[in-house]
Structure 1
């Protein structure tokens, strides 16, 4: 298949593109800058210049493709509502280009937090929660199944880890260095789901190839790693004490660290035969590349 990928040069996209190419697919990657275009080209994909606000580029990329994987998102937490609106418009444009074709549209989203429980593929984000906006966009994509689009959603956990990760765990390492303590919020019992970026990329490919219209998949390997254990590994590698610290010490991450948010991928594994086999989060941390 010819697969159009937004966010092709990003953290997830840089793993998804070679996963697709390795399976024999041709990839067209959206790139907003010269540096992004060079990354996409180096991965063996064709480049389409544009960004999420470029509706003509999105429409052209989707119209000429056999499948679309939408990974791009504006990660500006100071203007999160604007990022949600940009994402919603991009999904609408991509879906309209595929309407009536039966072609796959795979959207990236996030696993929800279920108070007192473990989130499954059947659960949704609580109204008013930080994840509710992206959940609404994902639901809009799934609704396109009624208009001849084989739409599906791959939900990613809080941490998609691996060498080169610049996300939440890398941020925790940087904060520990700055503050002189590997910290957690409260008693540190709150759990984060996690997956290695390579295992997540494999699930995106399975979704492109096999996911029925309206499917929700969870790219979760570790159902829930206690934040206190993450801090413990960080402290040991940085030779720092590990302790509970006020949530505000972590900036926007403080609220996320304080929430217990395990997630399951049992239904995804049963339906698609997806079995993550790369290192779990703690084992990946122990390899040392986050501290280089």
Structure 2
């Protein structure tokens, strides 16, 4: 099987491209920065340059491949609505169109469980509990992108969408690195009582789900799937586990939810006024995520994809910490 992986310079796309190569698949990769893909090219991946925002270039990328794993898109929930639509909707439209024109058989789309989140606590969310009116621009863009993907079914494209929750492991540049920087600057505090439970997804388990989506039979097609480790944990237990492994002070300060939301709103306001509108260290959406229960029901993925998580969260966190100490490094980030 020959596949195209978009967003291969990112955490998820890069890790999956490597996994696919190890499984013997023929892998074509695309990303903005070729230099970030040298390790994959050396392992046999075919690099095809091009801008996913250019529909004609995307058609070239999709030529003579059996399937596309679409991992490209914004990983940040912060940004202007039109920027998020461009990153998550327009690029996906171009990929869908290219798949149809080049007669690609299957498209596996990386979506997000943000399309469920309404700022309240939820346990065991199922795939049909998508909000009709998502609460923020990021979630709205991810929901619309999914709709574009499923709309292609009527033209013969086989489609599957995965909604993985808090993916972590070696290469995670976003979730835990942001928390580490906040803790080193003594700005991180437990929001509320610190007992809220959440799901994480070990990157190795997501690799399994993505590969299963490429190989799944007809009964699995045309569906969205929640993906997680299937074992919810208190969020702050996981955060403090990472702090201990990296020999940093544990988070022990508590801050009320209302106070944290107010501080996050002030932080957002300052960033909106700052040139370039940099992403705030902590937004109101981040505050809600760090305070609320948020877990997924993965029974559909188990049934149709044969998905069974094999790698525990703690193993994934050990992997992240070893990678962080060996490469990106706390000191380098702290020096910024």
Same fold per superposition (TM over 0.5):
yes
The answer to whether the aligner puts 1:92 opposite 2:113 as a matched pair is no
Secondary structure of the residue that 1:154 maps to in structure 2?
Answer: strand
8 Å CA contact retained: 1:219, 1:265: yes
Question: Contact between 1:196 and 1:278, CA under 8 Å: does it hold in 2?
Answer: yes
Q: Retained in 2: the 8 A contact 1:48–1:61?
A: yes
Q: Does structure 1 retain, via aligned residues, the 8 Å contact 2:28–2:47?
A: yes
Task: Give, in angstroms, the shift of residue 197 of structure 1.
Answer: 0.7
**1:194 and 2:200 aligned:** yes
Following superposition, the deviation at residue 150 of structure 1 comes to: 0.2
> Which has the larger Rg?
2
Partner of residue 289, structure 2: 256
Partner of 2:177: 170
Match of 1:107 in 2: 109
Say what the alpha-carbon RMSD is for the aligned residues.
2.5
Counterpart in 1 of 2:252? 242
2:60 equivalent in structure 1? 60
State whether structure 2 residue 299 is matched by structure 1 residue 269: no
**Alignment CA distance shift 1:283-1:27 (3 Å):** closer
Cα distance, 1:73 vs structure 2: 1.0
Instruction: Tell me by how many angstroms 1:290 deviates.
Output: 7.0
TM-score of the pair, normalised by structure 1: 0.88
Cα 1:241–1:73 shift into 2, 3 Å: closer
Q: Is 1:127–2:133 an aligned residue pair? A: yes
Is 2:7 aligned against 1:2?
no
Shift of 1:96: 1.8
> Does 2:155 match 1:141?
no
**1:83 corresponds to which residue?**
84
Q: Which range moves more in the overlay, 211-220 or 9-18?
A: 211-220
Displacement of 1:81 = 4.0
- Find the aligned partners of 2:66 and 2:306 in 1 and give their Cα distance: 23
- Greater shift, 43-52 or 229-238, is seen at 229-238
CA contact (8 A) 1:51 1:57 kept: yes
What CA distance in whole angstroms lies between the structure 2 residues aligned with 1:277 and 1:221?
8
Segments of 5+ residues of structure 1 without an aligned counterpart are none
Kindly tell me: are residues 39 and 49 of structure 1, through their superposed partners in 2, closer, same or farther at Cα, counting changes over 3 Å?
farther
1:8 CA drift (Å): 1.3
- Counterpart position of 1:279: 312
Question: Alpha carbons of 1:283 and 1:127: their partners in 2 closer, same or farther (altered >3 Å)?
Answer: same
In structure 2, C-alpha distance between the alignment counterparts of 1:25 and 1:108, rounded to whole Å: 19
**C-alpha distance after superposition, 1:178-216 (max 9, x if no partner):** 116x52211223332211111101211111121643121
Q: Which residue of 2 aligns with 1:203?
A: 209
2:270 corresponds in structure 1 to none
Q: Which aligned pairs between 1:19-58 and structure 2 lie closer than 5 A? A: 19-58=19-58
Which has a greater percent of strand?
A: 1
CA displacement at 1:43 relative to structure 2: 4.0
Quote the Cα distance in structure 2 between the aligned partners of 1:128 and 1:80.
Answer: 13
Encode CA deviations 1:216-251: one digit per residue, 9 max, x unaligned. Answer: 122211453222323432454413441223243651
